[in-house]
């Protein structure tokens, strides 16, 4: 199953990168969203999938899923949420101020 | 000994204060005493029983870099030249530079240069020598650009800076190699270990690097091009730096290191060849110039080439002649520059085509010029020092032999080239003298009415010409007490050379007669053969090459930068990802990093596979989505899919968070979408599309491969057992993930909260603050 999840992560990465390389701001944000999903799945798989109980201590059970990757992913989810929402507002402002959301047109001055 | 180097530097700090009272007293009067006192201090060392003196002052002992000063005959010759001519030049500049000039700047630079030059010739430590060497380059740069409002000055200063610093850096490389090979930084200890250096495999590199430094500084072919452009400097500077002192730093360097290299045949070949070519080319080109200072500049180049050639010969006679000519050249060339300055100062032009017949107006200047030029030409008269050194030069050029074929051919050719160069030396010397002072008067062409210079201005050239005549009349005056020590320091053996005016009717004298005869003929027929310059150099010019290289460097570097710094973020992302992809892939392949095994895997179930399938479809659909809402919703599908996977993989907290956050994100996206520009079909060239596809698919594949390899090779046990065991005991909680987040790794959580806070503030300000609003 790990192989399949990793392939899924790879496809998420591929789709994310393809979106990142597009011209429109919205697509780029969608790309970052996909990229973080891929990364989370990646971290999860680096632990072990589907071994034992959820990591909540219960009487008489000793076999638990790896809690550390879960803690890491939780942190990462929150951070990527913060960044995504910032990006979203930034894109909104950038598109409004410059009257374009085309990356090919959003460039600095020649000698800046 | 160190105080002679330090004093000019310290006093340079006070010059700006002194120059504040320049309305009353010329700043140069205060400055004059410094070189004069140094000169008096060093003159006490002249004597037949002189032996080298060494002094050490600590600087960076841990690196073996100390202010080692070493005064031997060679250093003594140079320090006397530097301080003596320095004093005369300061004296001359008092009359040459007006009080309205920025005198403070001038004398600060000049004193800086003097200290640096004294440091160069007194240093025994290669790195200290290098430090002073670069200081001479910098102060020379400042002096050439003294009239910085003049475009030619700035050009000349930059050119000399680029060329001499280029050579200086190469010399530094040679020094580093030398100190690595010998394990010492002292030049004298290097000379003691010369066998180690001569047997080193780095020998050609060391020699090449050091000679490059010497040749650029001493304006040897083809690095001589900076010297004529340095003539934009005030004339005292040209007289001091570009005839008597700085340009001889390269000669000093070659002389200083010749005890090490002289037995290495390439030293003879390179140094003699460079010297003799420079001699011929410099004297040939000097005849063509129309500016007095340009003639003198090319003359300096050619005379430096002559001395360099003699240092390359390395025989006893040659070394002595080199030392002798260093002294002689400093006397007559210094005086000639000053004469040129006087002519410029009193007539307003240095163009030899406008000058002529000045002897009636300026009889004293003309007399001084006569002695200078005749000595430079090497005319056989018993009161001119140039004749003796030229005679010795011919004599030394005659008994050369080389071990290899090339060297022996060179040894055969050198006498002829020496005569050739000397003929042209004769021609430009006579041309310089008679073109300026004899012939027709062109008073209407002159900006000023010419008259004799003030006595103070004539004093310095007079003293130098006095030197010319004194050495000319009594050539053995300073032999045993002074020059012999210098020659001994170069050759490493005692040299007892007697100079006689009449030494029989031998080959060198015949050569001199040929030079005078043919030179005279060429002077008379100058108009007829001047067309030769249209053939050689014709359109060829090293200056053009230099300009071309600089221009091309500018253009090429601009083009290279512009080719990838296009301002397009997409291109940068593509480059970053592409490079990451290629480098990672190569590293993984080379280190055999791909390790794919299929054991220790969880079972595949229908539910998971169907979730995965939906997510794959959704991920690909984000690319194809045509409008905002569908794109946002499809992204949401992927997020909820991840949440379901979290559920399946026993991560309740993750699933919870993921669901909530995905919902909020989708809401956010939808909130924004009304204001966002619509998704449009963007036309891409198929090339870009293919590149994008290749990069993204490659990246995805690479990540999958890395993930599988990483999963296949687990090298250590997970540390999670510790968390599971101690969660309740130490953390007091049943939910292990939450205990990790707030207890065991609470720091992460603190800063993750900070990140959210910053994001919230940033979003708030982005929405609230408008451009231009106060």
Interval B263-304: pLDDT, tens: 888 888 899 999 999 999 998 888 888 888 899 999 999 999
pLDDT for position B502: 63
Contacts of B664 in chain A (CB under 8 A): 81
Q: Report B:111-130 residues touching A (Cβ under 8 A).
A: none
| ipTM above 0.90 for this complex | yes
DSSP state of B54: E
B761 to chain A, any CB pair closer than 8 A? The answer is no
Q: What's CA B508's distance to the chain center, in Å?
A: 40
Q: Is B769 on the interface with A (CB under 8 A)?
A: no
Binary contact (A18, B653; C-beta < 8 A): no
Cβ of B699 within 8 Å of Cβ of A14? The answer is yes
Q: How far is A54 from chain B (nearest CA, A)?
A: 5
Biggest CA pair distance of chain B: 116
Task: Nearest chain B residue to A108 by CA: give it.
Answer: B567
Chain B closest-CA separation from residue A35 CA (Å): 10
- Flag if B707 and A9 touch (Cβ within 8 Å): yes
pLDDT at B683 over 60: yes
DSSP B123: B
Nearest-Cα residue of chain A relative to residue B680: A24
Q: State the nearest Cα–Cα gap between A101 and chain B, in angstroms.
A: 7
Which residue from B570, B665, B737 is facing A70, i.e. has the nearest CB? B737
**Residues A84, B631: Cα–Cα separation, whole Å:** 15
Chain B residues lying within 8 Å of A41, measured CB to CB: 642, 645
* Partner residue facing B692 (CB), from A18, A56, A66: A18
Kindly state the tokens that stand for B77. 């010759």
| A10 touches B at CB < 8 Å | yes
For the cut 90, the answer to whether the pLDDT of residue B759 exceeds it is yes
| A14 interfacial to chain B (CB closer than 8 Å) | yes
8 Å CB contact between B725 and B608: no
Condensed to tens digits (0 to 9), the pLDDT of residues A74-96 reads 999 999 999 988 988 888 888 87
Per-residue pLDDT reduced to its tens digit, B336-361: 999 988 888 888 888 888 887 888 88
Percent of chain B clearing pLDDT 90 (strictly above): 29
Query: Are the beta carbons of B675 and A99 closer than 8 angstroms?
Result: no
Kindly provide the b/e burial profile for residues B707-733, where b requires at least 16 CB atoms within 10 angstroms of the residue's own CB.
bbbebbeeeeebebeebbeebeeebeb
Residue numbers of B between 529 and 588 with CB closer than 8 Å to A:
567-570, 573-574, 577
Q: CB–CB of A78 and B763 under 8 A?
A: no
Q: Residues B573-588: pLDDT tens digits?
A: 899 999 999 999 999 8
CA pair distance B507, B392, nearest whole angstrom:
11
Query: CA quadruple B498, B499, B504, B508: dihedral positive or negative?
Result: positive
Q: Supply the pTM of this predicted model.
A: 0.83
* CA gap B670, B540 in Å, rounded: 72
CA gap B356, B443 in Å, rounded = 9
Using the Cβ of B748 and the Cβ atoms of chain A, whether some distance falls under 8 Å is answered with yes
Q: Quick one: pLDDT band at residue B773, thresholds 50, 70, 90? A: low
A28 touches chain B (CB under 8 A): no
Nearest to B711 among A45, A82, A106 (CB): A45
Structural element, H or E, at residue B478 = none
Whether B746 and chain A come into contact, CB under 8 Å, resolves to no
Q: B586-592 long-range contacts, Cβ below 8 Å, gap at least 24?
A: B588/B702, B588/B705, B588/B706, B588/B709
Residue of A64, A81, A83, A110 to mutate, interface with B, max B Cβ within 10 Å: A81
- How high is the pLDDT of residue B774? 46
Interface test with A, best of B653, B703, B749 (most A CBs within 10 A): B703
Region B237-258: what's the mean pLDDT?
A: 89
Q: Do B758 and A26 touch (CB under 8 A)?
A: no
- Distance, in angstroms, between B743 CA and closest chain A CA? 11
Residue B118 has pLDDT above 60, yes or no: yes
B132 against B389, higher pLDDT: B132
Name the residue facing A79 among B602, B708, B755 (closest C-beta).
Answer: B755
- What pLDDT sits at residue A61? 78
A60 in B contact zone (CB under 8 Å): no
Cα-based distances in Å from A2 to A35, A87, B609: 18, 32, 11
- Provide the pLDDT for residue B701: 92
pLDDT score of A50:
63
Mean pLDDT of B640-660: 92
Chain A contact present for B608, CB below 8 A: yes
A-B C-beta contacts closer than 8 Å: 265
Question: Which contiguous run of DSSP H or E holds residue B59?
Answer: strand B53-60
């Amino acid at each position: 199953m790990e192989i399949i999840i990793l392939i899924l992560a790879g496809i998420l990465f591929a789709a994310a990168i393809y979106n990142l390389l597009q011209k429109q701001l919205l697509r780029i944000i969608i790309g970052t969203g996909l990229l973080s999903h891929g990364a989370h799945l990646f971290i999860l798989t680096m632990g072990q999938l589907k071994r034992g109980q959820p990591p909540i201590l219960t009487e008489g059970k000793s076999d638990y899923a790896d809690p550390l990757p879960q803690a890491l992913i939780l942190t990462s989810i929150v951070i990527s949420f913060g960044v995504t929402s910032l990006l979203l507002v930034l894109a909104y402002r950038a598109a409004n101020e410059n009257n374009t959301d085309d990356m090919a047109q959003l460039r600095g001055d020649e000698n800046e | 000994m160190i105080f002679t180097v330090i004093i000019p530097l310290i006093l340079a700090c006070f010059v700006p204060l002194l120059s504040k009272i320049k309305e009353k007293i010329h700043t140069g009067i205060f400055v004059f005493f410094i070189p004069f006192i140094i000169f008096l201090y060093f003159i006490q060392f002249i004597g037949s029983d002189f032996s080298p003196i060494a002094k050490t002052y600590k600087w960076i002992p841990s690196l073996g870099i100390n202010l080692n000063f070493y005064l031997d005959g060679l250093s003594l010759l140079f320090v006397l030249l530097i301080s003596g001519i320095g004093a005369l030049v300061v004296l001359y500049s008092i009359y040459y530079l007006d009080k309205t000039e920025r005198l403070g700047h001038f004398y600060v630079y000049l004193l800086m240069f003097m200290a640096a030059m004294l440091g160069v010739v007194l240093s025994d430590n290669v790195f200290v020598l290098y430090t002073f060497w670069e200081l001479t380059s910098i102060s020379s740069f400042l002096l050439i650009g003294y009239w910085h409002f003049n475009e030619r000055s700035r050009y000349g200063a930059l050119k000399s800076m680029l060329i001499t610093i280029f050579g200086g850096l190469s010399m530094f490389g040679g020094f580093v190699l030398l100190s690595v090979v010998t394990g010492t930084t002292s030049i004298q200890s290097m000379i003691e270990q010369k066998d180690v250096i001569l047997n080193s495999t780095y020998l050609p590199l060391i020699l090449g690097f050091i000679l490059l430094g010497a040749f650029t500084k001493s304006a040897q072919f083809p690095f001589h091009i900076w010297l004529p452009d340095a003539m934009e400097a005030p004339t005292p500077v040209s007289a001091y730096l570009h005839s008597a002192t700085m340009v001889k730093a390269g000669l000093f360097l070659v002389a200083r290191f010749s005890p090490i290299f002289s037995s290495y045949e390439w030293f003879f070949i390179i140094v003699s060849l460079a010297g003799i070519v420079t001699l011929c080319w410099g004297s040939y080109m000097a005849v063509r110039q129309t500016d007095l200072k340009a003639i003198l500049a090319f003359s300096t180049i050619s005379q430096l080439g002559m001395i360099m050639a003699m240092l390359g010969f390395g025989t006893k006679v040659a070394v002595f002649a080199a030392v002798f000519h260093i002294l002689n050249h400093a006397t007559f060339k210094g005086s000639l520059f000053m004469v040129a300055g006087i002519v410029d100062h009193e007539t307003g032009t240095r163009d030899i085509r406008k000058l002529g017949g000045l002897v009636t107006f300026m009889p004293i200047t003309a007399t001084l010029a006569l002695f200078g030029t005749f000595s430079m030409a090497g005319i056989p008269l018993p009161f001119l020092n140039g004749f003796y050194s030229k005679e010795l030069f011919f004599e030394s050029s005659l008994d050369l032999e080389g071990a290899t074929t090339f060297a022996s051919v060179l040894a055969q050719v050198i006498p002829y080239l020496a005569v050739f160069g000397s003929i042209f030396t004769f021609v430009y010397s006579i041309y310089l003298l008679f073109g300026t002072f004899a012939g027709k008067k062109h008073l209407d062409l002159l900006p000023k009415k010419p008259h004799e210079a003030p006595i103070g201005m004539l004093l310095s050239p007079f003293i130098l010409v006095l030197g010319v005549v004194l050495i000319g009349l009594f050539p053995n005056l300073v032999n045993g007490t002074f020059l012999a020590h210098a020659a001994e320091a170069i050759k490493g053996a005692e040299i007892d050379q007697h100079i006689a005016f009449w030494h029989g009717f031998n080959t060198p004298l015949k050569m001199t007669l040929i030079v005078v005869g043919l030179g005279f003929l060429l002077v008379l027929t100058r108009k007829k053969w001047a067309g030769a310059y249209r053939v050689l150099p014709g359109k060829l010019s090293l200056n053009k090459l230099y300009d071309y290289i600089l221009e091309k460097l500018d253009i090429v570097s601009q083009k290279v930068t512009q080719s990838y710094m296009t301002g397009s973020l997409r291109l940068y992302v593509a480059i970053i990802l592409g490079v990451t992809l290629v480098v990672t892939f190569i590293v993984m392949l080379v280190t055999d990093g791909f390790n794919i095994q299929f054991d220790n895997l969880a079972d595949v179930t229908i539910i998971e596979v169907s979730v995965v399938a939906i997510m794959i479809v959704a991920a690909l659909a984000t690319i194809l989505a045509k409008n905002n809402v569908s794109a946002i919703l499809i992204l949401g599908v992927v997020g909820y899919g991840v949440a379901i996977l979290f559920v399946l993989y026993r991560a309740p907290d993750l699933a919870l968070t993921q669901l909530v956050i995905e919902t909020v994100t989708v809401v956010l996206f939808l909130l924004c979408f009304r204001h966002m520009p619509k998704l449009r079909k963007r036309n891409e060239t198929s090339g870009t599309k293919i590149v994008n596809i290749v990069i993204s698919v490659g990246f995805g594949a690479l990540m999958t491969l890395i993930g599988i390899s990483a999963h296949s090779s687990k090298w250590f046990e997970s540390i999670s057992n510790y968390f599971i065991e101690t969660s309740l005991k130490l953390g007091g909680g049943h939910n292990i993930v939450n205990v990790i987040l707030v207890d065991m790794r609470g720091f992460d959580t603190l800063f993750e909260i900070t990140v959210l806070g910053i994001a919230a503030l940033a979003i708030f300000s982005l929405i609230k603050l408008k451009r231009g609003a106060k």
